[in-house]
Structure 1
Amino acid sequence: MMGDTPDPVRARLLKAALDCFLADEYHKVTTRLIAERADANVSMIWYYFGNKEGLYEEMIRDTLSPLLDVLDGQMLSSVEGFEEFFRLYYDTMSKRPEFPKLILKVLALNQGPGQRFIQQLLERGRTRGARKVADLKTHGQIAPAVDPDILRMAFVSLAMTPMLLKDIFEEQMSRPMDAAFLESLSTFNGRLFTAGLAPATTE
């Protein structure tokens, strides 16, 4: 990052890259197209990101960072924070409904660049998440036997699946997965986690 003030050209390039890469296959998206969409010169892509792949990776980091930053913050200082975490995830992905599909394509189908980069981001999330689980155990918030990898997999399953299958779910339910629906889903999934992670009470 260049200082604390967001650079408007850099921000526009990231937004344009997100729009372009979500709309089309990686190899079909040109730097010229991104620059035109951002109302910027192609040379600015080289200046900020080095090349097209660098811009692609920064676009993914920029989108996922708010979610990974939670693992360093106070949101998950208690299990009640999982509801807020689900809410943040659904809100982030609702604004970019194609993004989870892009991540899945890169990881599962190895389409486009960035597989190693995304895996590094997810591994960082895994490490931070394990540390957060250890903290919650230390403070008696969750059961000592909880496996951090199983917890992470359960969260990812509940978070990603509604976004990946959004069109199918909406068709089956004959109603949109709008903000009100996702708010209810966040609350429900948060309660599932709160109940499922609670230490056993001894009577």
Structure 2
Amino acid sequence: MSESDVANRLIDAARECFLNDDYHRVTTRQIAAKAGVAVSMIRYYFGSKDGLYEDMIRQTLLPLIDAVDQLSLNGDWDFGDFFELYYAAMQRNPKFPALVLKVMALNEGPGKNVIRQLLERGRQRGSYRLAEIQGENIQPDDPKYDLLRIAFVSLAMFPMLAKPVFEEQMGQVMGPAFLRQLAEFNGQILKSGLQNL
């Protein structure tokens, strides 16, 4: 087993454990057993349970942030593309929005700084793109951008957090086709809101 394979197995095992239980109840022994490696490998690769937790969050969110970076560098996109990327990433990890909420709102686990860093990266990219769209110099601390950012996070996270309730009420699964429609619709909402700023 290669070194990267061991580290990846630990990250996958940690993701499963932390998504299914509270941070303080998950032990390094549980994670190591699920990964099929010695518990000492957690210290070797990540330094501690906290280090593994932070890396698990980073590895789960980075593909989404990297994809957003690529969209931001290319002028041929709209807000719906961002929603579609987020919904697709969350479908692969359906319990992850709840984990992010626990970290940010309840201060559970040590991952708050990691999530803040990644959100700040997206915030800076988004402000530049917003300035391009509106044809003016909008800085990341401009109230216009904050309104847009909060609306985006709300429209992105809530459908995934409340997905089981919505599916029960609608009598259908919010699968990829439905989420693409929702992404396009939410993109239009943001675009329309921008015209009134």
Report the TM-score range of the alignment, normalised by the length of the smaller protein.
0.7 to 0.9
Which SS does the other structure have where 1:190 is aligned? helix
| 1:28 correspondence with 2:29 | no
Shift, 1:194, TM fit? 4.0
Equivalent residue, structure 1, for 2:120: 123
2:83 aligns with: 86
Contact 2:23 2:109 in 1 (8 A): yes
Structure 2 unaligned runs (5+)? 137-141
* 8 Å CA contact 2:80, 2:186 repeated in 1: yes
CA RMSD of aligned residues (A): 2.7
State how far apart, in whole Å, the 2-side matches of 1:73 and 1:60 are. Answer: 20
CA distance in 2, matches of 1:147, 1:66: 27
Residue number in structure 2 paired with 1:64: 61
Structure 1 Cα separation of the partners of residues 154 and 76 of structure 2: 18
Give the secondary structure class of the aligned counterpart of 1:74: helix
The change in CA–CA distance for 1:164 and 1:51 in structure 2 (over 3 A counts) is same
Match of 2:109 among 106, 112, 115: 112
2:71, 2:177 → 1: CA distance?
A: 25
Matched, 1:51 2:48: yes
Q: Does 1:156 align with 2:153?
A: yes
* CA positional deviation for 1:192: 3.0
Residue type matched to 1:48 in 2?
Y
TM-score normalised according to structure 1 size: 0.82
Q: Distance in 1 between matches of 2:143 and 2:115?
A: 26
Higher helix share: 2
Consecutive aligned runs of 4 or more in structure 1 exceeding 4 Å deviation: none
Q: What amino acid sits opposite 1:52 in the alignment?
A: K
Q: TM-score, normalised by structure 2?
A: 0.84
Moved more, 57-66 or 36-45: 36-45
Percent identity of the aligned residues? 53
Q: How much does 1:54 deviate?
A: 0.4
